[in-house]
A and B are shown apart, each in its own frame.
Chain A
Amino acid sequence: MGVVVLPRSLTELFPARDGRPALPRRVSVFPFGEDGGDAVPPTVGDLIEHLDRTWPGLRDRLCEPGPVLRAYINVYVDGEPASIDTPVPESATVHVLPAVAGG
């Protein structure tokens, strides 16, 4: 079953608060959609919106207005570079990785 793997530097921004659980490093997001499955696979953007509903502000940490992925945020779907519009199959593993930056 599909899972989103998140970096520690991101999960630390969303600790447990007001009854909301802490954002985990690995988040299962499938089956996706209200009926437990979608005819059309969700996109990376859809997954981010889905996570943002539980952890408000997460979208703003990963995306610029548009939305588009922030310049130093890389997303991979089953190991392949992805954009915000990339479809995500139900069995996929999605990695969110901060690029080499800072100092």
Chain B
Amino acid sequence: MTQRLLVLLGTKKGAFILEGDAARRDFIVRGPLCEGWPIQDVNVDPSSGAILAAGGSAWYGPAVWRSDDLGATWSHSSEGLTYGPDGPKIRTVWNVTPGLDGLYAGVEPAGLFRSTDGGATWSHVEGLTNHPTREGWQPGNGGLCLHTILAHPSDPRRMWVGISAVGCFATEDGGATWEARNQGVRADYLPDPYPVTGQCVHKMVLAAGSGERLFQQNHCGTYRSDDAGRTWVCLDEGLPSTFGFPMVASPRDPDTVFTVPLNGDDRGRYVPGAAMAVWSTRDAGGSWTALREGLPQDHAYLGVLREAMARDNLDPFGLYVGTSTGQLFASADEGASWRLVADYLPPIWAVETVVVAA
């Protein structure tokens, strides 16, 4: 059966959909969608096939957008996305992720919301907001945002979230209670570099397999956990920088993950040496390889943000990287080589893929 490959983008100026196929060479660009709203994250609800886009308008507030026809038409809702009339105002939705028991949204200021009706209405997961460390939560440069949501692959009661600049939290009771899981993760900007909370997690991913191994790209290093986030080991050796944002895990190999280091939080936040590379490990972080073929190697003053790298589910799987300067690069061979497939887009904040029947 012929398949269509859709690359979904969230950008500063709306969502975009790039239509291609398994060759991953040529794409037709559609957009801007979602009325040009800033879109922080894009995703697909596997239970319905709906495309989801999360973001916020400076005028009209936060909302989760939904399309049931592959982006031709959209609806939007923020009903229930609130801390109440006396609570802080929600500025934007940073993440929308399907879980086993519904959709989840991460917002700024940091909090988690759940929807059981496909995003039409939302309810506050108060257990996280009521965590005893809440009063000490401090924002990162991008705000106090809940930007990463990881649903356990088989247990709907288990989930992890990442908050900047607070750290990783996990629940094993469906969100009623949460545990900070940051042991071993540095916070170099604090007097105690290993606090219970205060780490600036940038992105976390679940490795293929049992749901016990995670990888983390942090403001201060790259890490792996083999005990569901309870403890973390540093994987910095072999990487050009301890600073970066995105991370993608292989769909099949639990030892393989991809990241895009940047040159440092106070160095301009672009790829080291202005030469773009995606870095991969195939031994769970014991060693790293720079993947550069087809990526710009001169005067490439670009960055890649936390949600702006994704893979597809084809075999071999493809990888996609969206840059802060509006380029989309695609690899059809699991990162071995790359091709520029779109340019002059707005700054790309999120990338996701879905394969549909033609």
Contacts and interface: CB of A to CB of B under 8 A. Distances in A.
Most buried by A among B59, B73, B75: B59
A12 interface: yes
A64 B59 contact: no
Contacts of B78: 57, 60
A101 B58 contact: yes
Most buried by B among A10, A62, A65, A67: A65
A70 B75 contact: no
B54 to A, nearest CB: 15
Q: How large is the interface on A (under 10, 10 to 19, 20 to 34, 35 or more residues)?
A: 20 to 34
Contacts of B87: 65
Most buried by B among A17, A73, A102: A102
Contacts of B79: 57, 60
A66 B78 CA distance: 15
Contacts of B76: 13, 57
Interface string A90-103: 00000000110110
Contacts of A17: 73, 75
A66 B83 CA distance: 11
Nearest to B81: A60
Interface in A16-75: 17, 57, 60-62, 64-67, 70, 72-73
B82 interface: yes
B61 A61 contact: yes
Interface residues of B, number: 19
B35 interface: yes
B89 interface: yes
Contact of B61 (A9, A15, A66, A70): A70
Contact of B35 (A9, A57, A101): A9
Contacts of A65: 82-85, 87, 89
Contacts of B84: 65
Contacts of A60: 61, 63, 77-79
B344 interface: no
Interface of A is mostly: loop
Contact of B59 (A12, A66, A102): A102
A89 to B, nearest CB: 26
Given A17-B75, A60-B78, A60-B79, A9 B59 contact: yes
Contacts of B85: 65-67
Nearest to A74: B59
Contacts of B83: 65
Given A12-B35, A13-B35, A57-B77, A73 B82 contact: no
A15 B34 CA distance: 12
Nearest to A101: B58
B318 to A, nearest CB: 33
Given A57-B77, A60-B78, A65-B82, A10 B60 contact: yes
Contacts of A57: 76-79
A101 B59 contact: yes
A67 B58 CA distance: 18
Contact of A72 (B59, B73, B75): B59
A69 to B, nearest CB: 11
Contacts of B82: 64-65
Interface of B: 35, 57-61, 63, 73, 75-79, 82-85, 87, 89
Closest 7 CB pairs of A and B: A98-B59, A101-B58, A61-B60, A65-B85, A66-B85, A65-B82, A72-B59
Interface of A: 9-10, 12-13, 15, 17, 57, 60-62, 64-67, 70, 72-73, 98-99, 101-102
